[in-house]
Amino acid sequence: MLNVDYFYSVPMILAYYVCLILWILLLLALETTLLWALLNPLNFGLIYNIVFGIFYQFKKRNKT
């Protein structure tokens, strides 16, 4: 079974951030509307992973 530390390590949080930026740039390159590029459902999943991962790292560092 996979550990949560793998999904929310610092390199993975940075990877989620890079994927989010590249996804938005791809949508803009495909000439979608700016509103759709920013409010795309995949963006919410990536933003959730970034925010949850940051809070997970803070909580993990405060425990030790």
Establish if 1 belongs to a structural domain: no
**Which tokens in the block code for residue 50?**
């970034």
Domain residues for the domain of 46 are 20-63
Establish if 58 belongs to a structural domain: yes
Establish if 57 belongs to a structural domain: yes
Establish if 48 belongs to a structural domain: yes
- In the chain, how many domains are there? 1
- The answer to whether 37 and 20 have CB atoms below 8 angstroms apart is no
**pTM of this structure:** 0.77
pLDDT 10s digits, 5-28: 767 888 888 998 999 999 999 999
Establish if 55 belongs to a structural domain: yes
What is the C-alpha R_g of the chain? Answer: 14
pLDDT 10s digits, 15-61: 989 999 999 999 999 988 988 888 888 889 889 988 998 888 888 88
pLDDT at 64 over 70: no
Residue 60 has a pLDDT of 83
Q: CA–CA separation, 38 vs 42, rounded Å?
A: 10
